[in-house]
Chain A
Amino acid sequence: MLELPSISVKDLQEWSKLGEVLTSGHRLCSGCGAGIMARQVTLAAKALGDPIMIVNATGCLEVATTIYPYTAWNAPWLHNAFENAPATASGAIEAMKAMRRKQNKPDRNVNMIIFGGDGGTYDIGLQSLSGAIERGHDFLYVCYNNGAYMNCLSLDTHIMTEEGLKRVTDIKIGDQVYAFNQKSGELVLKECSGIFDNGIKKIYELNTLHHTIRTTINHPFLIVQRSRKNIENKLIWKTLGELNVGDEIVVLKSLAEGNSYTFETIKMSKLGDYKVNKLNEVALPKESNPELMEFLGLFIGDGWVRVHKTEIGFSIPKDTKERKRLIELTQKLFGITPSEVNPNDVYIYSVNLAKFIDSLDIGKGAKNKKIPSWIFTLPLEEKEGLIKGLLQSDGYTIGKSNRYVSASIELLKTMRLLLQTMNYRVGKIHKQQKKKGTFVVYRKLLEDSNYGYICFSRKKEPNVGKYLSQIKQRDFLADNPNFKTEKIVSINFIREEPTIDLRVEDEHNFIADGIVVHNTGIQRSGGTPQSAATTTSPPGKVIPGKIKWAKPLAEIMAAHEIPAFTASPAYIRDLMAKVQAGLKHDGSAFLLVDSPCNLGQRYAPEISIETTKIAVKSCFFPLYGTYLGEWILTGESARIAKNPDRKVPVEDYLKLQGRFRHLFKPEWKKKLIEIQETVDERWERLVNLASC
């Protein structure tokens, strides 16, 4: 007979004082269902009073909680391998019995919990589990099912998007990012469908002559594979760990011609406003233009803005052609004449112009300036205007080579990426330190200063038409308007840093720091639902993701004549009641937990619990228990059985997750209906079997 203990909210309050078994300090991803589920399971077990022991199969839960010499487990815990946790537990259980037998002591009740993921349970570990259950050892096996084998970039990576260059941390789901279409070789825009916080990882820096990127060792790059006969040369993906110095990687050469940027209207101050006694009238531009960009270039190099003082200042010495040009530009663009207050500085007093410049996202002071993302979307002529302005401020030109100096490394990084989209050759960022009192460009330093500089020059276009095959030896993509290849000059370990990764629809790649990179891998398992996309069951033109339904694992386990349950971390009391029933049962018991994985199922980490809740509400993952032919629906599933109006369409569940996104394309509409039909059919069968 199946009997579930009834657990009240008061019980939960009491148990919460028992102390965590999986303590803080583990390194599971934010939003990971496994950590939530493990805490609920162990708390329910602890509440039973008898000592608990845990055997954990290889998997996220094991790896992320026990990085030597640390552990997050406040309980006896053992890991052996991937596919053998039940056998390991059976050894431990029987050994403890035998040792007590030898000492003439009676058996002692220990609540043995085994945790395994869906890979370790549905697939490689199924035999070990089936064998251990058949032998009847006393344990509860908890399978945390996230439906795939789940597995980055440094946080200051910059991603090329439709709206210009963005820091990876500023990318949002739904943003259009640039990608490389491997078939046509074109630069295309694709939707970013997932962002993943991948925790602290080891970061390596890859350098070509003109590009630099920091990623984890397993991040894939697109490289040229050259064969002996050049006709068979092709582009393939390789992870950073497989790359060597000298390999040619695909990088961005230039973006498509952009459009002038329309500025957002700012709230203008007028006479009579609070603290506004005098107002210098200015004409503010509506759209970007080459001369405005030149002015901004001067501002980025030598300027600052202080809105509260209604001033825009420039450190440009008098009697220079730069100061002359600044005054000329200011008059022409804004209809206002700057004040030459002292030999070193020029001021423009206008609250509205200060507000305008402040709104452009350029940064206010010397150390935090940058090239804002919108500048990347401008026409080439306007970008050239900016460079012209920049060179007049902190730059200088020697022959054909230009050098730009700045105390803002972010400015140098973004400027380097901008120049790379404009057909310039740009060297690496040189970092230097100047002592107090040294002259830098025109100014004497007041304190020790850290700064950097980059060198760049205009690229000479090779005669592609005439010498294509020779040029292709050097640049495999010489005939591609937007991309080229560059040789790797070094790969170095930097340090451990927080990392992030993106998922991009269709092309599965994006442009990070000017380099084409692939998103990371999630492989299908026996627990992967039908039609779900993983990296080993991708949604293709003919096959929309995984072909078959997941194995009915709980039913397979129930066929061993043991109690088998399903549970969801969204329904805590239901889950805990099942844990306790399973542990109280004399012999093996099985619990299948829907454990959402935001990385693999592709949704934002904060909706983990929401996702698993809707899995239950849509009857995609019903809550039930079964033992010796008796079936009971529990919790929300029991309520749905009594009142079918509570059931939500399976689409509500699927649309939350990127792994089912392709199903919402018109061509797979039929598949969507098919999935709904299968879910309904399975649900109906379950309702007919079960009592509520």
Chain B
Amino acid sequence: MLKQVRGMTGDEAVAYAVKLVNPDVLAAYPITPQTIIVERYSDFVNNGEVDTSFIPVESEHSAMSACVGASMTGARVFTATASAGLALMYEILYVASGMRCPIVLAVANRAFSAPINIHGECTDQLVCRDASWVSLFGESAQEAYDETIMSFKIGEHPDVQLPTMFGIEGFIVTHALERVETMSKTDVEEFLPAERDVKYKFSPDEVMTFGSLVLQDYYMEIKRQQEEAMQNAYKVTKEVMAEFTELTGRKMEIVEKYQLEDAEHAFISYGATAGNAKAVVNKLREKGEKVGALKIRLHRPFPIDDIYDALKGIKSATILDRSATYGSPGTIVQGDIATALYGKKDVPTLHGFINGLGGRVLTLPQIIEAYEKAKVYHEEGKTLTQEWIGYRS
């Protein structure tokens, strides 16, 4: 494969990756910090560089609705949104997964109102965790680029047929200029089938009813099929990432382990925060601390075994969670990890830190402070559940 390197922001990386995929329909409504994705793509459409029908809808609700309508005809569909837009789509997220539409959605993770704020925070995507969407997080513009292309392949797999969303943090990734290794049209054509493999579609030639009323007698069976598809999505994501690694040479895994082999303590994070965690690991290692970092790339389906394998034998884990939850027994991701590890042997104590809300910068000294605090709590046999860092009290 021919490697080319370009400078791109996270949003541009997504737009260029979608251009290589050349989906049939892109229906979207602009919202900061997702706007650049749609702006760039409109250029491609109006310059005739892609075949895509661009539907400039009047709201995110209609964006997701149009995506469902398009996907039901067998088309390959992409959309992008953030924060309030994702919340407005929420109703139709369930329709998309229930109707088994492998739509791909890029989320420029942004804080929820109020107070209104346009900056990075992952709450918007995390609260969609039960909507039966495959959900990924990306750390950099490169990962945004790669995950765009992989998302189509994961969702459209015959054993999955579920929509996929991937998130990159607003401004921190979406607007930061980074080095991106790009792929060629032929690479993508080799990786992704030219068309979706669709058995049943909303077409003028087929008398078929889609989206019918399903009552108590069949509803649960249909929902159970979604859960089975989710289980399949775990295996498929692994396979797709392995294939992608082979094609590009860029290591892509469900979870990324950083210096965890001999570690006694670990950071757990996802998205851009993983970069900070890795920098702190380097610093602490210099001081002789036995510490590593775990990055969760796939949040749904939640990779239970991979996380257990990575954390087995670790004493304490400092969870850096850029999302808000109130009155809950832990941070959002801490809850998932705790459930995954509960009852297993040699697992670390978990210490959840809510940080970086509304784009607040998380400094390295703050992370080190959190790490020290977690260690103390671990020694005392206690856990931290709703610890907030990086705010003025």
Contact = CB atoms under 8 A, between A and B. Distances in A.
Contacts of B229: none
A62 B51 contact: no
B136 to A, nearest CB: 24
A7 interface: no
A102 B24 contact: yes
Please classify how large the interface on chain A is, using the bins under 10, 10 to 19, 20 to 34, 35 or more: 35 or more
B69 A87 contact: yes
Contacts of A424: none
A96 interface: yes
Contacts of A254: none
Contacts of B206: 76
B207 A95 contact: no
Contact of A94 (B53, B62, B209, B214): B53
Interface string A56-69: 00000011001111
Interface stretch (B72-80, B142-150, B362-370): B72-80
A91 B203 contact: no
B52 interface: yes
A642 to B, nearest CB: 42
Contacts of A108: 204
B58 A134 contact: yes
Nearest to B72: A78
A74 B206 CA distance: 10
B211 A79 contact: yes
Interface in B205-242: 205-215, 218
Contact of A90 (B51, B55, B71, B215): B55
A74 B207 contact: yes
A246 interface: no
Interface stretch (A123-131, A309-317, A398-406, A569-577): A123-131
A540 B218 CA distance: 43
Contacts of B208: 76-77
B70 interface: yes
A324 interface: no
A71 B212 contact: yes
B55 A127 contact: no
Contacts of A209: none
Interface in B143-195: none
Interface string B47-86: 0000111011111011101111111111101000000000
Interface in A88-106: 88-99, 101-102
A680 to B, nearest CB: 37
Determine which residue in A63, A79, A90, A127 has the highest number of CB atoms from chain B within 10 A of its CB, and name it. Answer: A90
Nearest to A67: B213
Nearest to A55: B69
B379 to A, nearest CB: 49
A48 to B, nearest CB: 13
Contacts of B62: 84, 86-87, 90, 127-128, 131-132
A99 B51 CA distance: 9
B66 A101 contact: no
A301 to B, nearest CB: 44
Contact of B73 (A69, A99, A101, A135): A99
Contacts of A66: 209, 211-213
A83 interface: yes
A68 B92 contact: no
A366 interface: no
Contacts of A97: 53
Query: Taking each of A69, A93, A99, which has the highest tally of chain B beta carbons within 10 Å of its own beta carbon?
Result: A99
B213 A91 contact: no
B377 interface: no
A73 interface: yes
Give the one of B53, B66, B68 with max A CB within 10 A.
B66
Q: Which of B51, B62, B208 has most A Cβ within 10 Å? A: B62
B377 to A, nearest CB: 43
A32 to B, nearest CB: 16
B92 A81 contact: yes
A75 B206 CA distance: 8
A73 B207 CA distance: 8
Contact of B72 (A68, A81, A92, A94): A92
B25 A102 contact: no
Interface string B14-39: 00000000001101000000000000
A107 to B, nearest CB: 11
Contacts of B58: 127-128, 130-131, 134
A101 B204 CA distance: 17
B205 A51 contact: yes
B381 to A, nearest CB: 43
A78 B24 contact: no
A87 to B, nearest CB: 4
Contact of A92 (B52, B57, B69): B69
B69 A90 contact: yes
A125 B202 CA distance: 22
B263 interface: no
Contacts of B211: 66, 78-80
Nearest to A88: B69
Nearest to B205: A51
B210 A98 contact: no
A128 B51 contact: no
Contacts of A80: 65, 68-69, 92, 95, 99, 211
B372 interface: no
A226 B62 CA distance: 46
Contacts of B51: 98, 101-102
A553 interface: no
A510 B316 CA distance: 67
Contacts of B346: none
B197 interface: no
Contacts of B214: 68
A53 B204 contact: yes
A83 B62 CA distance: 9
B221 to A, nearest CB: 10
A521 B297 CA distance: 49
Interface in A556-579: none
B91 interface: yes
A91 B65 contact: yes
A455 interface: no
A110 interface: yes
A130 B210 CA distance: 24
Contacts of A67: 212-213, 215
A111 to B, nearest CB: 9
- Residue among B52, B65, B207 with the most chain A CB within 10 A? B65
B337 to A, nearest CB: 34
A79 B212 contact: yes
B68 A94 contact: no
A76 B202 contact: yes
Contacts of B72: 78, 91-92
A113 B68 CA distance: 17
Contacts of A83: 61
Interface in B298-326: none
A130 B57 CA distance: 10
A76 B74 contact: no
Nearest to B215: A67
Contacts of A63: 213
Contact of B55 (A52, A62, A94): A94
20 contacts: A63-B213, A76-B206, A77-B209, A78-B72, A78-B211, A79-B211, A80-B69, A80-B99, A88-B68, A90-B27, A91-B67, A91-B70, A91-B71, A91-B73, A98-B25, A101-B53, A128-B58, A128-B59, A131-B59, A131-B62
Given A76-B206, A78-B209, A135-B55, 7 more contacts: A68-B212, A75-B207, A80-B68, A84-B65, A90-B57, A95-B75, A96-B73
The 6 closest A-B pairs by CB, nearest first: A91-B69, A131-B58, A91-B66, A66-B212, A79-B211, A84-B65
